[in-house]
Amino acid sequence: MTDQVPAAENLSPTDEALSVLQNQFPNAVRRDDRDGYSGIVVDPARLVEVATYARDSLGYDYLSSATAVDYLGKGDHLEMVYHAYRTTGGAALVIKAQTDREAATLPSLTPVWPGANFQEREAYDLMGIRFEGHPNLKRILLWEGFHGHPLRKDWKEPYYEQEQKPFDSRWPNGRVVRSEEHNPYGKNVQYPDDFDLDGYTSPAEAAVYEEMNLGVDIRSDLATERMVVSLGPQHPSTHGVFRMVAQINGETIQQLEPVMGYLHRNHEQIGERNTFLQNMPFTDRLDYFCSLSNNLGYAIAVEQLMSLGARYQPPTYRAEVLRVLMAELTRIVNHMVAIGFLLNDLGAFFTPMMYAMIERELILDFFEAVTGSRMMCNYMRFGGTAMDLPERIRGEANLVNDRVRDFNTMEFLRELILERLPRAVDQINEYLTTSEIVTNRCIGVGVLPRADAIALSTAGPVLRASGVAYDVRRAEPYSIYPELEFDVVVRDHGDIYDRYLVRIEEMIESLKILRQILPKLEETQGQPFFAGRGGIYSPRVPAGESYGRVENPKGELGFYIVSDGGQNPWRYHVRAPSFINLTALERMSKGYKIADAVGILGSIDIVLGEVDR
């Protein structure tokens, strides 16, 4: 790179990259000088050129997150925020482009980072930004009969009550009057002005089939029949809320498109009406197998904003030890379930799943004793955790002859981490890794090459099974991970089998981390699990932006948050690994059999609560 400006001794790699871009594109790039903000703002006309330069000359080859923000009343523009990283590690290069709200148009960055595909479709769907040059711009989470773009600040639902919580009807007097009660016979659905529900046929549905080019003849020595098949949503492997539309020639997949949105709840709109703390239990519902690590990602994002204030106190060491303990147990919980469900999808119905559930239930016993809940734990707080470990794990007798649990917590943990879980992982490895079902159905199937895995923004085991040693715990460390010894698990073939093996080996590495956590729990016993003065319930969050991310079991989970200094987030966006990893589903499936599609989907390990939000 010959045109790079010399780096000052105290200049970070990210600051150096920003300086290079300003020097290379002096009239198109400016620093974002808003208080609490970072990165660069790029002239939309040069956005693709700047992004290409950042990828090819500065090494930012991995697009993690793309977020749309509505600044109604704060400049009255819409803004796209792209977080790009180097797969060699380091902080983000934050690229922003702004557009007028009334005619919101920006160039698509899918030619630069194909992983922007689904994320730009989401921004179009929920914010109304049109992306010129996008290969398939249509709604992705909502249907065509939905009126407007619900994340815009001027959008109101039919029974709109107030912009932010707590609502006046609930607090402080508690006289609950719901807006539906004022109009009990009204419609709770709005349609676009030009929408006719009578005789409606979905243009998106038609487009799916039209894009398959069914009128094109294919010459072949073997006479085969081309057809389109729909897998799901009423299909055991798609969980009732997800669909794959595939064009097949004989039994070979030629094209495939994921269809989602059946479970969409507008999680982010709810998040912007909640107070900061009210969002914590909502993160539990994203990936409901990974409640505690979801909590951690959101806590880190808000703590980044809180650190802009003078009174901020970072989490205590005890709190960080507890956080890592919970996150790594969660990784084992998730991978156990992921492997069990993958075997279900491959035809080994339920026996491996039930074996995987045994040790998972013991971990959930521990979660329940500490947090009060098995799956929706709501445990992390800004500045620490909600509570410390109890002295004992107790149970109550609900029925006659019930066995009552009563264990010393640390003894329970030691047995779990040092004996039970290692045996369980070894058992799964012994019975499944060389099984004919697994090897015949997985080796060489669903291959995702390294370059495609990076370009399509995949994360977690999907990315690392394609030979990319990228793990947020090492690439941009957080909490106490820098002082812990563990390896980033990598495999090179990028097939279903390697994605399975990565999860097996990551459980082994999590156990290595947990063995290091046990003595730290004993050393810090009695120390505070929360830092701050009263902020456990009502934190002060200064104005600015933050992007907090963690290495969740399914991949990078990120929260992009904008605060205007009030008690509610101005913008709350979730970078969901299940959603973005599906961008690679078609690439993984092309050329394989229709029977393989179910196993390929299972190897990605998605949860639809996180996909649709």
Name the burial class of residue 145, with classes exposed (0-12), middle (13-18) and buried (19+) by CB atoms within 10 angstroms of its CB: middle
| 204 pLDDT higher than 70 | no
How far from chain centre, in Å, is Cα 270?
Answer: 17
Tokens of 307: 């650190």
Looking at the fold, whether 419 and 554 belong to one and the same domain comes out as yes
Answer with the one of 89, 111, 132 that is the final residue of a domain: 132
Confidence of residue 436 (pLDDT cuts 50, 70, 90): confident
Q: What is the mean pLDDT of the chain?
A: 85
pLDDT of residue 224: 56
Looking at the fold, whether 303 and 213 belong to one and the same domain comes out as no
The one-character DSSP state at 609 is H
pLDDT of residue 562: 92
Answer with the one of 259, 278, 301 that is the final residue of a domain: 259
The phi, psi pair for 572, rounded to 5°, reads: -135, 110
**If we measure between CA atoms, which residue out of 335, 364, 338, 297 comes closest to residue 508?**
335
Structural element, H or E, at residue 369: helix 351-371
How far apart are alpha carbons 383 and 316 in whole angstroms? 7
Tokens of 123: 């921004």
Looking at the fold, whether 420 and 347 belong to one and the same domain comes out as yes
pLDDT of residue 172: 73
Tokens of 396: 């109550």
Confidence of residue 48 (pLDDT cuts 50, 70, 90): very high
Lowest pLDDT segment from 13-22, 520-529, 588-597? 13-22
The phi, psi pair for 472, rounded to 5°, reads: -55, -30
**pLDDT more than 90, % of the chain:** 36
How far from chain centre, in Å, is Cα 19?
Answer: 31
Looking at the fold, whether 355 and 314 belong to one and the same domain comes out as yes
Find the CATH number of the domain harbouring 113.
Answer: 3.30.460.80
Neighbours of 37 (CB within 10 A): 17
Looking at the fold, whether 253 and 278 belong to one and the same domain comes out as no
The one-character DSSP state at 253 is E
Looking at the fold, whether 572 and 466 belong to one and the same domain comes out as yes
Q: Which region, left, alpha or beta, applies to residue 533 given φ > 0 means left and ψ of -120 to 50 means alpha?
A: beta
Stronger pLDDT, 393 or 201, i.e. the higher one? 393
pLDDT of residue 344: 82
pLDDT of residue 559: 93
Do strands 105-107 and 62-70 pair parallel, antiparallel, or not at all (unpaired)?
unpaired
- Give the pLDDT mean for 6-19: 65
Tens-place pLDDT, residues 111-165: 999 999 999 999 999 999 999 999 888 888 888 778 888 899 888 877 777 777 7
Question: Does residue 65 sit within a domain?
Answer: yes
Tokens of 480: 């106490």
How far apart are alpha carbons 4 and 601 in whole angstroms? 43
Answer with the one of 90, 109, 132 that is the final residue of a domain: 132
Looking at the fold, whether 302 and 406 belong to one and the same domain comes out as yes
Looking at the fold, whether 401 and 478 belong to one and the same domain comes out as yes
| 170 pLDDT higher than 80 | no
Distances (CA, A) of 538 to 19, 119, 278, 391: 38, 32, 10, 28
Lowest pLDDT segment from 6-10, 31-35, 57-61, 105-109? 6-10
pLDDT of residue 183: 65
Question: Does residue 425 sit within a domain?
Answer: yes
| 194 pLDDT higher than 90 | no
**pLDDT more than 70, % of the chain:** 88
pLDDT of residue 3: 46
Q: Which residues pair with 196 in a beta bridge?
A: none
* 601 close to 237: Cβ distance less than 8 angstroms: yes
Tens-place pLDDT, residues 251-310: 888 888 888 888 888 889 888 888 888 899 999 988 888 899 999 999 999 999 988 887
Question: Does residue 168 sit within a domain?
Answer: no
Lowest pLDDT segment from 46-60, 97-111, 255-269, 489-503? 255-269
- For CA atoms 218, 223, 227, 231, give the dihedral sign: negative
Tens-place pLDDT, residues 601-611: 888 888 888 88
How far apart are alpha carbons 480 and 320 in whole angstroms? 6
Find the CATH number of the domain harbouring 573.
Answer: 1.10.645.10
How far apart are alpha carbons 498 and 120 in whole angstroms? 30
Looking at the fold, whether 447 and 492 belong to one and the same domain comes out as yes
For residue 555, give its domain range: 267-531+541-612
Q: Which residues pair with 103 in a beta bridge?
A: none
Question: Does residue 443 sit within a domain?
Answer: yes
- Give the pLDDT mean for 414-441: 89
The phi, psi pair for 249, rounded to 5°, reads: -120, 105
Question: Does residue 161 sit within a domain?
Answer: no
pLDDT of residue 7: 42
pLDDT of residue 8: 43
| 576 pLDDT higher than 80 | yes
Stronger pLDDT, 513 or 406, i.e. the higher one? 513
Please count the structural domains in the chain.
Answer: 3
| 243 pLDDT higher than 90 | no
How far apart are alpha carbons 600 and 441 in whole angstroms? 10
Lowest pLDDT segment from 195-209, 249-263, 494-508? 195-209
Question: Does residue 157 sit within a domain?
Answer: no
Looking at the fold, whether 323 and 233 belong to one and the same domain comes out as no
How far apart are alpha carbons 364 and 360 in whole angstroms? 6
**If we measure between CA atoms, which residue out of 205, 240, 219, 272 comes closest to residue 67?**
272
Looking at the fold, whether 210 and 275 belong to one and the same domain comes out as no
Confidence of residue 6 (pLDDT cuts 50, 70, 90): very low
How far apart are alpha carbons 414 and 420 in whole angstroms? 9
pLDDT of residue 10: 53
Question: Does residue 171 sit within a domain?
Answer: no
Virtual torsion, Cα 567, 479, 318, 379, nearest 10 deg? 50
Confidence of residue 225 (pLDDT cuts 50, 70, 90): low
> Residues with Cβ < 8 Å from 511, sequence gap 6 or more?
332, 417, 421, 422, 425
pLDDT of residue 185: 62
- Give the pLDDT mean for 497-501: 92
> Residues with Cβ < 8 Å from 390, sequence gap 6 or more?
369, 370, 409
pLDDT of residue 551: 92
Looking at the fold, whether 467 and 487 belong to one and the same domain comes out as yes
Question: Does residue 184 sit within a domain?
Answer: no
User: In 3-state terms, the chain is what percent helix, strand and coil (to 5)?
Assistant: 40, 15, 45
**What is the DSSP code string of 7-39?**
PPTT--HHHHHHHHHHHHSTTTEEE--STT--S
